[in-house]
Chain A
């Protein structure tokens, strides 16, 4: 099974190298999408043996993931795993999200931080995620334990059929809209997470959350 990792990166010079090196043993190719970084993210990625795609402007997480999936499709990948570049996730969990694809029991696998180790997650993160889960359910009718997951796996069917339109953080919920609309088989598997001062500074806050919900509502309006 030809597997690629997609790493969307925006100003992640501090962590991108270690994430690439950690991911490498678990996949055949690595696609780094530099989303208009103003630091050395692209240069560092270029020094590693990866496929580097550079956005001229910062378009957001959704756009970077979309570019990564298009590239994976063109490479003819059998499976693609998306993983955040902030070093918050464990690369070893790639094996866990790939297993249901290898068993052919799912087309999309979401790594959930909330299935077995919720206590290690800061309260405010749990709160934002719970709100995200409720909004995802209310807008798209899919219940998930981790609507904002940073690690997901897609098989060839999903890589071909999922089309991302949201360009920013709301993409995390949009995946569930696509899963429901296209009747894609999906599963959640537990993953681990480590919070550092750096990764906490990169995540969602209240203003981002409000903007994300507004954009999701707009997407729903477009769909109607």
Chain B
């Protein structure tokens, strides 16, 4: 019960913080509703853990805790992949910036017109 209580407080705080931040950043109603749905479902599953057992039985997994474990692996893997793509994009942008600075610096030193020809910037 203690763990349940702590988890409910944490999830509730995440839900409210996200909503307040979302309002400040003018997030769309769809994003706000999705945020509310995801965290409300999480609170419901913490409050009534037997629901996970029912879903687990329905999808053919033995126990509710196994369902939570498998779902967590899928969700975390997806998040890691999204972060990898994000880091890759960031790396590409930094590279273009470094290239542009390098060519412009050479241009400045020698009146070489390299900076105008970069196809990506």
Binding site for B on A (CB under 8 A): 33, 36, 51-57, 59-60, 63, 66-67, 70-71, 73-74, 163, 165, 167, 215, 218, 221
Contact = CB atoms under 8 A, between A and B. Distances in A.
Interface bin, chain B: 20 to 34
Given A55-B98, A59-B95, 19 more contacts: A51-B106, A51-B112, A52-B106, A53-B103, A53-B106, A54-B102, A55-B102, A56-B101, A59-B99, A60-B95, A63-B95, A63-B99, A67-B102, A73-B117, A74-B112, A74-B117, A167-B91, A167-B92, A167-B95
Contacts of A70: 99, 103, 114, 117-119
Residue with the highest number of chain B CB atoms closer than 10 Å, among A33, A67, A163: A67
Residue with the highest number of chain A CB atoms closer than 10 Å, among B99, B103, B118: B99
B101 to A, nearest CB: 6
B103 A218 contact: no
B115 to A, nearest CB: 9
A56 B98 contact: yes
Contacts of A63: 95, 98-99
Given A55-B102, A71-B103, A163 B114 contact: no
* Chain A to chain B: the 9 pairs with minimum beta-carbon distance, closest first: A167-B95, A59-B95, A63-B95, A74-B114, A67-B99, A74-B117, A53-B102, A55-B98, A55-B102
